[in-house]
Amino acid sequence: MGATVEQALEQLKSTGVRMTPQRYAILSYLMHSMTHPTADEIYKSLSPSFPSMSVATIYNNLRLFVEAGLIRELTYGDDSSRFDADLSEHYHAICRSCGTIVDFDYPPLTDVEAAASKETGFKVEGHRMEIYGICADCTTRHNH
C-alpha cells in the first residue's frame, strides 16, 4: 500500500490546495478502497455523510487529486473512469462480465520497456498491462 492519507494531505498542502472535509473524505475513501471506484460509487458511499456534496464536486476533486499526482485515473473498456490511489507499479486483472478491476503484483516488465525503446526509439515513460477474463464471482454465478 502506498502513501497514507496524511502524507497525501501534506503533499496537497504544498501545492496550495485547501483541505476541506469533503476532500479528506474522498481521499481517504479512495485510499482504503481496493475496488478502484468510479466517481458515482464514491458519491453513493459518501453522500449520506455529506448531503451537500454533488457528483460534480467529487469529479472536480478527483481531477485535482490526479493533477497533484496523488491518484491515477484508469480508463478501461467502459466509459466511466475508475480511480486508484495505489501509485506503486502494479498490474490489473479486469472482469469482462462485471468490470471489476483487481490488482495483482508481478515483477515490473522493464525488459518490455527496454525492447520498445530500442525498436521504436521512444523515450519510454511507462506502460500498463491488463489481464482480461471473468472474475471468480461471475464464474460461480454462470455455473449455477
User: Annotated binding residue at 98?
Assistant: yes
List the grid coordinates of 1. Answer: 500500500
CB atoms within 10 A of CB 84: 20
Question: How far, in Å, CA of 25 to CA of 42, rounded?
Answer: 10
List the grid coordinates of 80. Answer: 466511466
User: Annotated binding residue at 135?
Assistant: yes
Question: How far, in Å, CA of 36 to CA of 85, rounded?
Answer: 8
The terminus-to-terminus CA distance of the chain in angstroms comes to 35
User: Annotated binding residue at 144?
Assistant: no
User: Annotated binding residue at 127?
Assistant: yes
User: Annotated binding residue at 32?
Assistant: no
> Cβ(74)–Cβ(84) under 8 Å?
yes
Give the amino acid at 136: A
List the grid coordinates of 85. Answer: 490511489
Which residues carry a binding-site annotation for Zn(2+)? 95, 98, 135, 138
Which residues carry a binding-site annotation for Fe cation? 127
Which residues carry a binding-site annotation? 95, 98, 127, 135, 138
